[in-house]
C-alpha cells in the first residue's frame, strides 16, 4: 500500500506564526541598530566637546601662567590679564561663546558657558584663577543633550 501525501504546502496558521516571528526579529534588530547609532552620535558629540574644552583650557592656562591678572577677586564672566608680551588680553564668556579680545575661541557647534573665579594670593601680582566651563554640543541631533563640565585652576607666575 502506498501512502498518498495530500498536504504539500503550509497552512495559514503556519504562515501567520512564521510571519509573526520574522516581524519580531526584524523589529528587535531595527531597535538595536537605532540604539547603536544614537550611542555612537552621543559618543562623537562627547568627544568633540571634550576636545574643544581641553583646547580652550590649555590655551588660556598657558597664557595665564605667564601673565599678570588685572581682574579683581570673585566670580566673573570675564578675565583681564596682561600677558608676557605686555598686551592687554580679555577673555569673556558671553551668550554661549568664549572670546579672547572679541575673537571666538569655541567651535560653532559647541556652546560654552562658565565663570572665572579669581583669588588674589598674598602677592597682588600672583593670583589663582579657576576656570569653570560647561560645554554643550549643538550640531549633532542625539535625542539627548550632550554636555560636559570642565574645571582647571591656574596660578599666574609672571617672570
Cα separation, 2 vs 7, in Å, equals: 15
| Predicted confidence (pLDDT) at residue 124 exceeds the cutoff of 60 | no
| Predicted confidence (pLDDT) at residue 16 exceeds the cutoff of 60 | yes
Global confidence as pTM: 0.75
CA dihedral of 84, 87, 91, 94, whole degrees rounded to 10: -170
C-alpha cell at 16: 501567520
3-7, 44-48, 94-98 — which is least confidently predicted? 3-7
Give which of 70, 94, 72, 67 is closest to 80, Cα–Cα: 70
Cα separation, 49 vs 139, in Å, equals: 11
| Predicted confidence (pLDDT) at residue 84 exceeds the cutoff of 90 | no
**SS3 for 123?**
coil
Summarised one tens digit per residue, pLDDT across range 92-123 is 999 989 999 989 999 888 899 999 998 876 66
Radius of gyration of the chain, Cα coordinates, nearest whole angstrom = 29
| Predicted confidence (pLDDT) at residue 1 exceeds the cutoff of 70 | no
Say if CB 90 and CB 51 are below 8 A apart.
no
Amino acid at each position: 500500500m502506498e501512502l498518498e501525501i495530500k498536504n504539500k504546502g503550509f497552512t495559514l496558521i503556519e504562515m501567520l506564526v512564521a510571519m509573526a516571528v520574522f516581524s519580531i526579529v526584524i523589529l528587535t534588530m531595527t531597535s538595536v541598530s537605532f540604539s547603536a547609532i544614537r550611542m555612537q552620535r552621543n559618543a562623537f558629540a562627547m568627544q568633540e566637546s571634550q576636545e574643544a574644552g581641553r583646547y580652550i583650557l590649555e590655551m588660556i592656562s598657558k597664557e595665564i601662567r605667564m601673565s599678570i591678572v588685572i581682574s579683581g577677586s570673585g566670580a566673573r564672566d570675564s578675565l583681564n590679564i596682561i600677558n608676557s608680551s605686555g598686551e592687554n588680553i580679555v577673555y569673556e564668556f558671553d551668550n554661549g561663546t568664549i572670546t579672547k579680545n572679541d575673537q571666538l575661541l569655541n567651535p560653532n557647534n559647541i556652546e560654552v558657558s562658565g565663570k572665572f573665579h579669581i583669588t588674589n594670593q598674598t602677592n597682588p601680582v600672583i593670583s589663582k584663577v579657576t576656570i569653570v566651563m560647561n560645554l554643550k554640543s549643538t550640531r549633532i541631533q542625539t535625542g539627548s543633550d550632550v554636555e560636559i563640565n570642565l574645571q582647571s585652576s591656574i596660578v599666574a607666575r609672571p617672570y
